[in-house]
Chains A and B, each alone.
Chain A
Amino acid sequence: MAALMNPLPAASIRCRDIGVRFFSERGSVTALQGLNLDVAVGEFLALLGPSGCGKSTLLRVVSDLLPPSHGRIEVFDGAPSVARLKRDIGFVFQDAALLPWRTALQNVELPLQVGGGAARRGRRSPRELLALVGLAGSENAFPHELSGGMRQRVAIARALASDPRVLLMDEPFGALDEITRDRLNEELRRVWRETGLTILFVTHSIHEAAYLGQHVLMLAANPGRVREIVPVELPEDRTLAVRETPEFVQITARLRRLLETC
């Protein structure tokens, strides 16, 4: 369970007073300010907020791609760099970022070939992971032969290859058409339930956030900060049909009102 200023023992990610500033010729931008957050182990947390509220920045702080200018962050009770070296972090980008000269299978194998990845081979083989994301039979296809949705599936399998404990997803389905997006949302929930991963999922879509997350972390912009954490009280084994229930409509209405005041 995610809770503000409420340290729980089984936290996967713990942020205390995180601040990030960017500098340019035109001055400085405060991407995040005074951010406190606890994410429980195995939680699916959706991050929602207007552009420039620091959603992506937060993922980059957690994954050790960006050092915070202020505050303290722990990922599994250690510094983010330790978690990164232990291969506890998987990252899925908005653009699938597959290596175009590698086949789908070879792309999924990448994490096992760099950064001492062979030492920490995942429980599932790259071939099994491709099957898990519904791509059995496309192992030898090159990225240019795959559709946008299939490329994003490969990217998810690749992120899972080193058997991470937390999966960071930065608007992974933002560029896909709605039908593909719905199907991937459904499958992502299935993968999450099968693997027991902790997932931080950045999105611009209210519906996506409410359907996927156990909680929705609403961020406000200028400076980026926590606006509210909204619990999503829907059955865990929900399907896409849940979006037609009054409970779902209530949650999305609340999220929309919050977003308007951010």
Chain B
Amino acid sequence: MNTRSIDAAIVTTAAAGPDTELQAWGAARQRRLWRRRLLPALGIVGLLALWWAVVVGFGVKPFIAPSPGLVLQTLYAKRVVLLANLIPTGLEAAGGFLLGNLAAIAVATLFVHNKTVQEIFFPVVLMFNAIPIVAKAPILVLIMGNGVEPKITIAALVCFFPTLVNMVRGLESVNPQAMELMRVLSASRSEIFFRLRLFNALPYLFSALRISASMCVIGAVVGEWIGANVGVGALIIQATFNFDSALLYSAIVMSACLSGLFYLLVALLERRIVRWQPEPVN
């Protein structure tokens, strides 16, 4: 049998009827996809069931820990209060996210272009980052007062560091041969920055932004703990002092949703912008 007749044989089997092996493969793939969707949902449902079973089974008092049903009820009943407190926190977190990340990108750009500045100031940034955020927060409230400014600043500070570190790494970790190519082409520093370094840094930037997306909410809430009349942080403190655990849990659920929303937005933006795959290795 020569090659031509083998080809012909393959074509005939394909044309003769439905390819059962291909169909079986397709069905197995569908099963795997459903598995991947169902198992995480199962985990969440299981956790809620366990929570409910513990609260009911051990007769835990509602002011110690509410049942999931009670939290759900409170989320609906107090939706006006919750939303009124969620919006300021969301704005503070978003403001901090923008401010902190833009500052980090600017500083990273400066560091990459001026090694001396980087060598002088990077240890300072490192030291500043070593101070816990709950210790930095009161200082900022003392300086900036009780308004939104310290909250935005705290949210910005927690976003700043991961983005700075990742952005510097992204701008610097350029393929050395691509760098040599740019030099052979007599590219200027700004051309190297805008055509090579910046694109190279985008995947690094987005992994930092994913971290920032949840960190900025934490920053805003911590800022509100120190002193605020509105916001999820203020609501958490209030609910704790009043032993209103149902409201406390509702506030926590709301802030988690806020973090999730920010994360989702960053992930969507990343999918739109970073469409390439890292350079394949020969």
Q: Hey, which bits of chain A sit against chain B, CB under 8 A?
A: 60, 63-65, 84-85, 87, 89-91, 93-101, 110-111, 113-117, 142-144, 148, 151-152, 162, 175-176
Contact of A98 among B182, B195, B199, B279 (CB under 8 A): B279
CB of B276 within 8 A of CB of A142, answer yes
- 14 extra A-B contacts, CB within 8 A, seeds A97-B279, A99-B199, A144-B280: A64-B183, A64-B184, A84-B184, A95-B175, A96-B282, A98-B279, A111-B185, A113-B191, A114-B188, A114-B195, A115-B191, A148-B280, A148-B282, A162-B185
Contact of B175 among A97, A111, A144, A162 (CB under 8 A): A97
CB of B188 within 8 A of CB of A115, answer yes
In chain B, what residue has the closest Cβ to A145?
B277
The distance from the CB of A58 to the nearest CB of chain B, in whole angstroms, is 15
Known: A97-B175, A99-B199, A151-B282. A91 touches B184 (CB 8 A): yes
Mark B250-282 against chain A: 1 for CB-CB distance below 8 A, else 0.
000000000000000000000000011111111
Q: Hey, which bits of chain B sit against chain A, CB under 8 A?
A: 175, 177-178, 180-188, 191-192, 195-196, 199, 202, 275-282
CB of B181 within 8 A of CB of A84, answer no
Contacts of A84 in B (CB 8 A): 184, 186
Tell me the complex Cα distance, A111–B281, Å: 22
Cross-chain pair count, CB within 8 angstroms: 86
Contact of B183 among A65, A101, A144 (CB under 8 A): A65
CB of A144 within 8 A of CB of B185, answer no
CB of B191 within 8 A of CB of A114, answer yes
Q: Can you name 6 A-B residue pairings with CB atoms under 8 Å? A: A64-B184, A65-B183, A100-B276, A110-B185, A143-B280, A144-B276
The distance from the CB of B266 to the nearest CB of chain A, in whole angstroms, is 19
In chain B, what residue has the closest Cβ to A81?
B186
Known: A96-B282, A148-B282, A151-B280. A101 touches B199 (CB 8 A): yes
CB of A95 within 8 A of CB of B277, answer no
The distance from the CB of A99 to the nearest CB of chain B, in whole angstroms, is 7
Known: A93-B177, A95-B282, A114-B195. A100 touches B184 (CB 8 A): no
Contacts of B188 in A (CB 8 A): 114-115
Tell me the complex Cα distance, A70–B279, Å: 37
Name which of B182, B183, B277, B279 has the most chain A CB atoms within 10 A of its CB.
B279
Contacts of B279 in A (CB 8 A): 97-98, 100, 143-144
Contact of A99 among B178, B180, B282 (CB under 8 A): B178
Name which of A101, A115, A142 has the most chain B CB atoms within 10 A of its CB.
A101
CB of B185 within 8 A of CB of A117, answer yes
Contact of B186 among A99, A100, A116, A152 (CB under 8 A): A116
Known: A84-B186, A115-B187, A115-B191. A91 touches B181 (CB 8 A): yes
Name which of B178, B185, B195 has the most chain A CB atoms within 10 A of its CB.
B185
Tell me the complex Cα distance, A151–B277, Å: 14
Contacts of A94 in B (CB 8 A): 177, 282
Contacts of A87 in B (CB 8 A): 185-186
Contacts of A90 in B (CB 8 A): 184
Known: A110-B185, A115-B187, A116-B186. A97 touches B177 (CB 8 A): yes
Contacts of A85 in B (CB 8 A): 186
Name which of B180, B192, B282 has the most chain A CB atoms within 10 A of its CB.
B282
Tell me the complex Cα distance, A35–B188, Å: 32
Tell me the complex Cα distance, A94–B191, Å: 23
Tell me the complex Cα distance, A84–B202, Å: 30
Contacts of B180 in A (CB 8 A): 60, 65, 91, 93, 97
Contacts of A114 in B (CB 8 A): 182, 185-188, 191-192, 195
The distance from the CB of B246 to the nearest CB of chain A, in whole angstroms, is 50
Contacts of A143 in B (CB 8 A): 276, 279-280
Tell me the complex Cα distance, A195–B171, Å: 37
In chain A, what residue has the closest Cβ to B184?
A91
CB of B282 within 8 A of CB of A176, answer yes
Contacts of B183 in A (CB 8 A): 64-65
Name which of A90, A95, A117, A176 has the most chain B CB atoms within 10 A of its CB.
A95
Contacts of B278 in A (CB 8 A): 100, 144
CB of A65 within 8 A of CB of B196, answer no
Tell me the complex Cα distance, A85–B279, Å: 28
Tell me the complex Cα distance, A11–B247, Å: 85
In chain A, what residue has the closest Cβ to B195?
A114
The distance from the CB of B193 to the nearest CB of chain A, in whole angstroms, is 11
CB of B186 within 8 A of CB of A63, answer no
CB of B178 within 8 A of CB of A97, answer yes
